[in-house]
Structure 1
Amino acid sequence: MISRVFTLLAICFALMVSIVNSKPIYCLNGNCLYTRSNLTTETIISELGPQLSQRSVIIGPNDASWANVTSRYQAYNQPHILLVIQPGREEDIPTIVKYANSNSVDFLTVNRGHSLSGSNGRFNGIQISMQLLTDITINKGGKTAWFQGGTYDQQVIDELFKHGYVATTGSCACVGMMGPGLGGGHGRYQGKYGLISDNLVTLNVVLADGSTVRVSEDSHPDLLWAMKGAGHNFGIVTSFELKIHPKQVDTWYYRNYVYTQDKLETIFQAINKFHNNGTEPVDMAYEYGVYTMMPNISTTEAVIFWSFAWSGSQSGAQKYLMPFDKIGPVSIEDGNVPYPEIPDRTGSGLNDVVCEPGFEHIVGQTETFVWNITAQRKIYDLYNEKVRAQPLLNSTVVTMEGYSTEGVKAGESSSSAFPWRNSYNHLAFISISYAPNPALDQFALEWRNETRALWREGDPGHLPTNYVNYAWGDEPLESVYGYEPWRLEKLRSLKSRYDPSGRFNYYNPITGVQG
Structure 2
Amino acid sequence: MYEVLEEKGKSSLILPGEYGYELRRMVWNNSIDKKPACISVCESEEDVVQAVKFAKRNGLDISIRSGGHHVAGFGVCDGGLMIDLSNMRKVTIDENRQVALVDGGARAGDVDKETQKFGLAVPLGTVSKVGVGGLALSGGIGYLRGKYGLTCDNIIAARVVTNDGDILDVNEVSHSDLLWAIRGGGGNFGVVTRFEFALHKVGPKVFTLDVMYDYKDAKKILEKFNAFVLNATDDAIAINLIITVLPPAAFLPESLHMKKVIMVTGVYTGDIEDGEEAFKPLQQLATPIIDQSMVMPFTQVQNKLDKMIQEYVNVYGTSLYFQELTEEVTDAILSKIDSAPVPSVLFQLWALGGEMNRVASDATAFAIRDAKYALLVDTMAMPGEDEMCELWTDSVYNRLLPYSHKRASYLNGIGQGEGLARLAYQENYNRLVQVKKRYDSDNKFRHNHNITPD
Among 147, 151, 161, the residue aligned to 1:196:
151
- Within 5 A, what are the aligned runs for 1:391-402? 393-402=342-351
Among 365, 369, 377, the residue aligned to 1:417:
365
- Aligned length in residues: 447
Deviation at 1:428, TM superposition (A): 0.7
**Aligned twin of 1:17:** none
Tell me the distance in 2 between the aligned counterparts of 1:194 and 1:359.
31
Among 415, 426, 435, the residue aligned to 1:472:
415
Deviation at 1:381, TM superposition (A): 4.2
1:283 is paired with a residue whose SS is helix
- Within 5 A, what are the aligned runs for 1:69-218? 69-117=24-72, 123-139=78-94, 141-218=96-173
- Within 5 A, what are the aligned runs for 1:8-27? none
- Within 5 A, what are the aligned runs for 1:433-448? 433-435=380-382, 437=383, 439-448=384-393
Among 303, 311, 321, the residue aligned to 2:261:
303
Tell me the distance in 2 between the aligned counterparts of 1:199 and 1:512.
27
2:53 is paired with a residue whose SS is helix
Deviation at 1:319, TM superposition (A): 4.0
Indicate if the aligned counterparts of 1:230 and 1:481 stay in contact, CA closer than 8 A.
no
1:232 is paired with a residue whose SS is coil
Deviation at 1:478, TM superposition (A): 6.0
Whether 2:292 is the aligned partner of 1:333: answer: yes
My pick for the range that moved more, 131-140 or 84-93, is 131-140
My pick for the range that moved more, 97-106 or 487-496, is 487-496
Among 230, 234, 238, the residue aligned to 1:282:
234
2:283 is paired with a residue whose SS is helix
Tell me the distance in 2 between the aligned counterparts of 1:379 and 1:318.
30
**Aligned twin of 2:179:** 224
2:374 is matched by which residue type in structure 1?
L
**Aligned twin of 1:273:** 227
Whether 2:205 is the aligned partner of 1:262: answer: no
Q: What does the per-residue CA deviation read over 1:112-145, in whole Å, with 9 as the maximum and x for residues that have no partner?
A: 1011227888632221111221222222614223
Tell me the distance in 2 between the aligned counterparts of 1:325 and 1:318.
12
Identity %: 22
Tell me the distance in 1 between the aligned counterparts of 2:179 and 2:274.
41
Indicate if the aligned counterparts of 1:464 and 1:479 stay in contact, CA closer than 8 A.
no
Change over 3 Å in CA distance of 1:394–1:314 after alignment to 2: farther
**Aligned twin of 1:320:** 279
**Aligned twin of 1:30:** none
**Aligned twin of 1:498:** 439
Q: What does the per-residue CA deviation read over 1:329-376, in whole Å, with 9 as the maximum and x for residues that have no partner?
A: 22222221111111233x2x3xx131x322221112111132234443
1:131 is paired with a residue whose SS is coil
Indicate if the aligned counterparts of 2:25 and 2:76 stay in contact, CA closer than 8 A.
no
2:164 is paired with a residue whose SS is coil
User: Normalized per residue, which structure has more helix?
Assistant: 1
Tell me the distance in 2 between the aligned counterparts of 1:416 and 1:464.
19
Deviation at 1:300, TM superposition (A): 7.2
Indicate if the aligned counterparts of 1:192 and 1:407 stay in contact, CA closer than 8 A.
yes
1:147 is paired with a residue whose SS is strand
Tell me the distance in 2 between the aligned counterparts of 1:475 and 1:371.
27
Q: Which runs of 5+ in 1 are unaligned?
A: 1-37, 388-392
Deviation at 1:458, TM superposition (A): 4.0
Indicate if the aligned counterparts of 1:71 and 1:357 stay in contact, CA closer than 8 A.
no
Indicate if the aligned counterparts of 2:145 and 2:238 stay in contact, CA closer than 8 A.
no
Indicate if the aligned counterparts of 1:166 and 1:245 stay in contact, CA closer than 8 A.
yes
Q: What does the per-residue CA deviation read over 1:127-173, in whole Å, with 9 as the maximum and x for residues that have no partner?
A: 11112212222226142231111111111111011123212212211
Tell me the distance in 2 between the aligned counterparts of 1:245 and 1:429.
27
Deviation at 1:186, TM superposition (A): 1.4
TM-score calculated relative to the size of structure 1: 0.80
**Aligned twin of 1:365:** 319
**Aligned twin of 1:508:** 449
Tell me the distance in 2 between the aligned counterparts of 1:131 and 1:172.
17
1:154 is paired with a residue whose SS is helix
**Aligned twin of 1:29:** none
**Aligned twin of 2:9:** 53
**Aligned twin of 2:245:** 293
Change over 3 Å in CA distance of 1:227–1:344 after alignment to 2: closer
Among 430, 433, 449, the residue aligned to 2:394:
449
Tell me the distance in 2 between the aligned counterparts of 1:477 and 1:380.
24
Tell me the distance in 2 between the aligned counterparts of 1:171 and 1:430.
15
Deviation at 1:285, TM superposition (A): 4.8
1:109 is paired with a residue whose SS is strand
2:446 is matched by which residue type in structure 1?
N
Deviation at 1:291, TM superposition (A): 2.1
2:124 is matched by which residue type in structure 1?
T
Q: Which runs of 5+ in 2 are unaligned?
A: 249-253
Indicate if the aligned counterparts of 2:36 and 2:76 stay in contact, CA closer than 8 A.
no
Give the greater-gyration-radius structure (CA): 1
Indicate if the aligned counterparts of 2:62 and 2:446 stay in contact, CA closer than 8 A.
no
Deviation at 1:204, TM superposition (A): 0.6
- Within 5 A, what are the aligned runs for 1:366-381? 366-381=320-335
Q: What does the per-residue CA deviation read over 1:370-401, in whole Å, with 9 as the maximum and x for residues that have no partner?
A: 223444344434434433xxxxx322212112
